[in-house]
Structure 1
């Protein structure tokens, strides 16, 4: 029987500096954290994978909002992968969206309202891919599904494609972008608090090792589930920061949460793209935590960031860099 908990790993990080979350995180965000823990409690230890997925799905359902008016939604297989397609009244461009969940939990329903709202806010067709999950399907299964679905979308609809995703889905979006950069069809990528394979012995991985919602121990444990052994090195299909070539990438925008061990991945990725002559920006959202997308209706900071993400998707889809002279 396979079991795990998102907070069940007990790696000793006691000697690391502690961030002052009482001052960094505001009241509405703390309320969101408490509500999340009510549905997905830290003491949910020893459950099977199936039980953990049930808990996660119930939590997502508790936060789910109705679809905005004016969009249509259907499920369809694309490239052998079941996808959910969100269409506004008239869609000129398309964005892929890969959901988060540590490569272990989540699916078409967990991020259904997020995708629906992005569709309504941007006027883009949003295609969400139901990629295979670990541990039943370890790497590179999820990556292969996301790449196959993206290629099918490129074949299905003319025009450029935007890549997007959150957390593990942000990792998958970046890896697929690296694979498809030679097609000339990727107009940009928007990565939301992504896991990109940064150095876990420094920076935000230490400063925010004990952050609410995601700890360094959680990050390390998800890696043990996704990979049968140590995470592969120099393999951009597993983590984009493992690539040795950052040339030819489309404009890239990374939205990191300040109180998140993954925060520095966005900065490092931005720097690699810039050093290779590309265009990139890393936005660090003050006081936000990993998983804040579910807080976009209750936390003002999250609502503002969600609006920036939608505006960025709109701009990149039309070939516009939305940050002026900012690299």
Structure 2
């Protein structure tokens, strides 16, 4: 993660810089050179520092989805005394090597409170102990469990690495139970020779070299870059996908992936909408309580999830 301001000195608002500086104080750019277990320890500490608590009325319970050879841990959020009209299946970010149920606990709780829907957060297996397709397999197992067990309309939702998993699951299970998907600054395996990959190769909090590092750690020895469960944009068929809404950050090398994914779905006859949040950076969800533009972006995300869960197209 780069900490250099460069052309972003005046491009980003002071409040966004305060957020970036706070992240870098907890999780400095040079940490990417440390052993993975040390990175996780520091990342988890940062997540605890940013945790906002759960809104009143939201209850959470932990469970385990049985799988062949292992279980997939989940956390189920519900509004006390209220039956949800839909279920959101949430996949957290962290470059496929970091994070778990606690790291995005408050975000999931606020998503539950904001939509009134049940939210299930998935603790998929992480690399390098479990390289691809372990995380995808767990995500698909969670989807199949949710589709069979809940009986509720199902919205897929994921941010960063989790957006990759949500999209990969939507494509693997197309024309099945999902009623919609909402992707938040997802990494979908787009063309790194153009667009935001070039314009924002050295963006704060996520650089092109960071993306390459996470991809390499996640990859099996003979990982094909054309595997759509690894890089959803490498798929050859984008038909039959649920209505899709993608939010990206302007100052993020991954932003072009959202635009490209929208275009592929629309070209295949589907319904998709992409919005690039101006003057924001990767991971802006953690800034939602301190940066007004991030708060507005989170409100848009909640509104999109709520509309899709009701079977409505928000745009």
* TM tier, smaller: over 0.9
**Aligned equivalent of 2:98:** 105
Is residue 122 of structure 1 aligned with residue 115 of structure 2? yes
Deviations, residues 228-259 of structure 1 (Å, cap 9, x unaligned):
34652332111210110000111101100000
What is the CA distance between 1:45 and its match in structure 2?
A: 5.1
Equivalenced residue count is 308
Is residue 39 of structure 1 aligned with residue 32 of structure 2? no
**Aligned equivalent of 1:3:** none
**Aligned equivalent of 2:209:** 217
Asked if the contact 2:93–2:159 (Cα under 8 Å) also holds between the matched residues in 1, the reply is yes
Which of 250, 257, 266 does residue 265 from structure 1 map onto? Answer: 257
Distance (whole Å) between structure 2 residues aligned to residue 167 and residue 257 of structure 1: 11
Is residue 308 of structure 1 aligned with residue 295 of structure 2? no
**Aligned alpha-carbon RMSD (Å):** 1.5
What is the CA distance between 1:44 and its match in structure 2?
A: 2.4
**Aligned equivalent of 1:317:** 309
Moved more, 40-49 or 93-102: 40-49
Assess, with a 3 A threshold, how the Cα gap between structure 1 residues 84 and 71 changes in structure 2: closer, same or farther. same
Alignment of 1:185-200 (within 5 A): 185-200=177-192
Which of 270, 276, 279 does residue 271 from structure 2 map onto? Answer: 279
Asked if the contact 1:169–1:194 (Cα under 8 Å) also holds between the matched residues in 2, the reply is yes
What is the CA distance between 1:193 and its match in structure 2?
A: 0.3
Asked if the contact 1:33–1:213 (Cα under 8 Å) also holds between the matched residues in 2, the reply is yes
Alignment of 1:94-173 (within 5 A): 94-173=87-166
Asked if the contact 1:189–1:251 (Cα under 8 Å) also holds between the matched residues in 2, the reply is yes
Distance (whole Å) between structure 2 residues aligned to residue 311 and residue 133 of structure 1: 30
Asked if the contact 1:98–1:172 (Cα under 8 Å) also holds between the matched residues in 2, the reply is yes
Assess, with a 3 A threshold, how the Cα gap between structure 1 residues 300 and 188 changes in structure 2: closer, same or farther. same
Distance (whole Å) between structure 2 residues aligned to residue 182 and residue 269 of structure 1: 18
Assess, with a 3 A threshold, how the Cα gap between structure 1 residues 300 and 230 changes in structure 2: closer, same or farther. farther
Deviations, residues 101-159 of structure 1 (Å, cap 9, x unaligned):
00000000000000000000000100000000000000000000010011111111113
**Aligned equivalent of 1:78:** 65
Asked if the contact 1:25–1:287 (Cα under 8 Å) also holds between the matched residues in 2, the reply is yes
Normalising by structure 1, what TM-score? 0.91
Structure 1 gap segments, 5+ residues each: 1-5, 9-17
Describe the SS at the equivalent of 1:234: coil
Asked if the contact 1:167–1:193 (Cα under 8 Å) also holds between the matched residues in 2, the reply is yes
